[in-house]
Chain A
Amino acid sequence: MNTYKEKLFKALTYTASLFVIIFLFGIIYSIFREGLPILKVVKLQDFIFGSAWYPTHEIPEFGIWTLIIGSVYVTLGALVVALPLGLGSAVYISEVASPRMREIAKPIIELLAAIPSVIYGLFGMAFLAPAVRQWFNLPTGLNVFTSSIILGIMVIPIIASMSEDALSTVPKALRESSLALGATKWETIVRVVVPAAKRGIIGSTLIGFGRAIGETMVVLMVAGGSAKIPSSIFHSTRPMTSAIAAEMGETVVGDLHYQSLFAIAIVLFLITFATNIFTEIVFLKRSAR
């Protein structure tokens, strides 16, 4: 009886995890199946590096370089916002805050991650963008700058939480020996604790990168959507994710535009997939020490 139950339990959990794997490979398979045929019409290098994205023109052009640059700009901008704030709060929580304060502050920062992205988008659209337009006297506040800030706020909890974990695993003995050598608390943090946690901190930043580059709703609502390479952070842009989300509804199943959007999805998937694998292997693997 017992062994029968155990076998059943084993089979059920096995099936559950099998489904997860089937979904993963199913999704990968379908984006490749729908997206790859575009390469019969457009050469790979023209697709990636071509900077004319006119998918609906009479003679359509499918160069996604502007979209890639759009994604890269808002993502790097987000990290410029999120890294100092995320690492700063991680250091505060791990090194400075009293145990009581730590118990309050960490869940609050992690709560940022619980806000649905459409709410970030709404906030950016309704409050930040008009303010940015006014402050800098711009034609529109929907641009790289505004989306970087909003995306950055979204990424803060990832960097803060993972960096805090990394900082708090630095052995107390290292802090003590630094202090015992006459270093102040601040010098100890800057010269010993943060360097000792740097792998985890870099790892958290890369995970944040993957999160920001894949984020769709915020950039759809706040980045402005123009498919030109922005020459200033106050120009609007169209990242890969918003191109896919905004344009999919206009396509006919199986046409070139449809295929090209799937091909963008492949590029996006490869970027996030590579980032995650690389990060896991290089920065986050639990070393023996």
Chain B
Amino acid sequence: MVTNQIQTLKLNLWFGNNHVLHDVSMGVTEKKITAMIGPSGCGKSTLLRTFNRMNDLIDETRISGKVLLDGEDIYRSKADVTNLRTRVGMVFQKPNPFPKSIFNNVAFGMAVQGKFNRSQIEDRVEKSLRDAWLWDEVKDRLNESAMSLSGGQQQRLCIARALANNPEVLLLDEPTSALDPQSTSKIEELCLELKNMVTILIVTHNIAQAGRISDYIAFMYLGELVEFGETNKVFTVPQDKRTEAYLTGVFG
């Protein structure tokens, strides 16, 4: 049996008195794309953010249960959160490059870690930009502001920035919802390529997108993981009526 790279066990999460995640137990397979779908407010983004502990930033967050990464509980008391976040990268809904040069955006994570020399950083920046399919578009203007890039390029820059930390897992929180269709399909194709090197979890509102790129689907509803399985199985024979209703557009 293959062990899961990420495994949640009876995960519950509260923001104050608001019980957001209910007993979520879910496994994520290495180097596959797992899509998390469900109506707004179902907890899919919150679940995604437990994997790099971004929910810690919100006051009064409480959690019970476990989240294992490579078998280790990332919420154990001595866990190194900054180290976790270099292992689990994240790309957000809106492209949000730093107001710095293209180069310095990608080099940011390495610069913060402070254990790389200049040529190591340069090599990794180039590799990350190549991996994010951005290198040819920006190689002649690495010192220009990242703000000069188009929206789709900015989002690929954010992917490159996350890849530069050599993460094991990449969390994508609705990464294409602010992009035009062309940029969207480019990022979808990129995801299919990237899964050879990194495990991808993607939150999306776009059911068709989940169908196009994911290997596994997690359907969430009202804070519960209602259904989890291989994408083609969930899409063809959903086990739960709520999943079927969502996929066929009854609500959402």
Which positions in A face B, CB cutoff 8 Å? Answer: 171, 173-174, 176-184, 187, 191-192, 195-196, 289
Q: Which of A178, A181, A191, A289 has the most CB of B within 10 A?
A: A181
CB distance from A178 to the nearest CB of B (A): 7
| Residues of B with C-beta under 8 A to A181 | 85-86, 89, 108-109, 112, 161-162, 165
Assuming the contacts A191-B108, A191-B112, asked whether A179 and B85 have C-beta atoms less than 8 A apart, the reply is yes
Assuming the contacts A177-B96, A191-B112, asked whether A182 and B86 have C-beta atoms less than 8 A apart, the reply is yes
Assuming the contacts A187-B112, A191-B108, A191-B112, asked whether A180 and B89 have C-beta atoms less than 8 A apart, the reply is yes
| Residues of A with C-beta under 8 A to B111 | 191
Q: B90 on the interface (CB 8 Å rule)?
A: yes
In the assembled complex, the Cα of A176 lies from the Cα of B97 at a distance in Å of 11
Interface of A is mostly: helix
4 A-B pairs with least C-beta separation: A182-B86, A173-B96, A181-B109, A180-B90
Which positions in B face A, CB cutoff 8 Å? Answer: 52, 54, 57, 82-83, 85-86, 89-90, 92, 94, 96, 98-100, 108-109, 111-113, 147, 158, 161-162, 165
> 6 A-B residue contacts at CB 8 Å?
A176-B54, A176-B92, A180-B54, A191-B112, A192-B98, A195-B99
Contact A183 B92 (CB under 8 A): no
Assuming the contacts A191-B108, A289-B147, asked whether A178 and B82 have C-beta atoms less than 8 A apart, the reply is no
| Residues of B with C-beta under 8 A to A173 | 92, 94, 96
Contact B57 A174 (CB under 8 A): no
Q: Closest B residue to A196 by CB, please name it.
A: B99
Q: How many A-B residue pairs have CB under 8 A?
A: 62
| Residues of B with C-beta under 8 A to A179 | 54, 57, 85
Contact of B85 among A171, A174, A180, A195 (CB under 8 A): A180
In the assembled complex, the Cα of A181 lies from the Cα of B109 at a distance in Å of 5
Q: Closest A residue to B108 by CB, please name it.
A: A181
| Residues of A with C-beta under 8 A to B108 | 178, 181, 183, 191
In the assembled complex, the Cα of A174 lies from the Cα of B158 at a distance in Å of 11
In the assembled complex, the Cα of A174 lies from the Cα of B92 at a distance in Å of 10
Assuming the contacts A176-B54, A176-B92, asked whether A182 and B109 have C-beta atoms less than 8 A apart, the reply is yes
Contact A182 B82 (CB under 8 A): yes
| Residues of A with C-beta under 8 A to B52 | 180
CB distance from A172 to the nearest CB of B (A): 9
| Residues of A with C-beta under 8 A to B90 | 177, 180
Contact of B98 among A178, A182, A187, A289 (CB under 8 A): A178
Contact of A174 among B89, B96, B113, B165 (CB under 8 A): B96
